[in-house]
A = this chain, B = another copy of it.
């Protein structure tokens, strides 16, 4: 019955946020990734929270963690609360800078698809300032401060560009490629995050071979190398359209394998008619099939 000397402070917001993310994503590592900190930081936050509560929120298991009954009871409300906070934050951001549109997309899309379209967008709506963030994976739009998100997916959002894969190379190299089998003689460039492209296409082409060649972690770099004649790249139609159009790259084979996952555009919230984000979205979605 102590007349508690330190008036009970409210729990630290950072720790609550870490707990919420870990609960929602099912692990500290995933939470750390979402919050943009190291896993150790999340561990520490959750541990501190558990200590001030005097009760465990997660059961530690050999592989990952699992919510305790207490954690599970609290998680839902926390998620709701932080969702509400993110919404309020979006209102704040949107009203404070109504002419700024934040777009999240893959690095490859940013450089090879979005970037070439920006001059036209700037010309069409000079008062809008588009800020692009390259991410390896789609952000959680309920939380991350982006207005638009542009990622490959099979469903959801709005289709902005269909995708198909086809081998492309510098014109000088094309002469040596009569049949798909000839690929065995040349380096096959590929991107680390699209490792499945070559096997897929080769299977569709009916060729029993393994593609060998340098692997890049940045697709735009692979494209550059292909232009330089370093080998044959498995091209994604929307991303190499410009290079094909101006002849820096050519497609030695007719087969373009359509992919189920096209480039799709999501908006964080329903777009207010006439808002800058709505106009950018409309601009990007204008010509779903077209090359630039």
Contacts and interface: CB of A to CB of B under 8 A. Distances in A.
Given A81-B87, A87-B81, A89-B16, A7 B135 contact: yes
Nearest to A139: B7
A274 interface: no
A13 B17 contact: yes
Contacts of A14: 13
A1 B129 CA distance: 6
Contacts of A17: 13
Contacts of A97: 53-55
A204 interface: no
Interface in A124-144: 129-135, 143-144
A284 B97 CA distance: 53
B7 A36 contact: yes
A120 interface: no
Contacts of A73: 91-92, 95
Contacts of A77: 84, 87-88, 91
A80 B88 contact: yes
Given A1-B129, A131-B2, A133-B4, A10 B96 contact: no
A25 interface: no
Give the copy number. 2
Interface residues of A, number: 52
A3 interface: yes
B135 A96 contact: no
Interface string A1-43: 1111001111101101100000000000000000010000000
A8 B131 CA distance: 10
A1 B118 contact: yes
A11 B94 CA distance: 13
A174 to B, nearest CB: 32
B95 A4 contact: no
B84 A80 contact: yes
Contacts of A91: 73-74, 77
Given A8-B145, A8-B146, A85-B16, A92 B118 contact: no
Given A8-B145, A81-B82, 7 more contacts: A1-B118, A8-B131, A8-B144, A16-B88, A70-B92, A80-B88, A85-B85
25 contacts: A1-B132, A2-B132, A3-B132, A3-B133, A4-B102, A4-B133, A7-B36, A8-B131, A8-B144, A8-B145, A8-B146, A10-B89, A10-B145, A16-B88, A16-B89, A54-B96, A70-B92, A73-B95, A77-B87, A78-B92, A81-B84, A81-B87, A81-B88, A84-B84, A85-B85
Closest 4 CB pairs of A and B: A77-B88, A81-B84, A81-B85, A53-B96
